[in-house]
Amino acid sequence: MVKHVKAGGKDRPVKFGMAALHQFEKATGIKAAKLNMDEVGADLDVLSNLFKAGFDQGCRISNIPVDYKLEDVLDWMDEPGVIDHTMKAFVESYKDINGTTINELEKNVEAPTEGPQ
């Protein structure tokens, strides 16, 4: 399911499905099955590549051209709410795919309390 996050002055589609995870694996060499929240939260390369994959696949599904690079995604991460809302989209997408929760993800990702959606 495509979610939306306000980043870089636009309402951007984001989709964390199998294509995004595949793109993430190719970009980082990290298997998505081995991904854990400690690694995501502690490693900027992991987090930014995960987010870029989600935004890229959101654009692909929505037939919107990708008008940004990894460096732009890193800039967006400086904007209030972008990290929280994108991580929330990741957690919700995993639930949509698997019909279950990821305990490690849910206990480390809280619902955003402020900032753009």
- The whole-chain average pLDDT of the chain stands at 84
In this predicted structure, the answer to whether residue 75 has a pLDDT above a threshold of 80 is yes
Average pLDDT over residues 74-86: 96
For CA atoms 59, 73, 68, 53, give the dihedral sign: negative
The pLDDT value given to residue 105: 46
In this predicted structure, the answer to whether residue 113 has a pLDDT above a threshold of 70 is no
Domain boundaries in the chain?
A: 3-108
Q: How many residues does the chain have?
A: 117
In this predicted structure, the answer to whether residue 63 has a pLDDT above a threshold of 50 is yes
Split at pLDDT 50, 70, 90, the class of 41 is low
pTM: 0.80
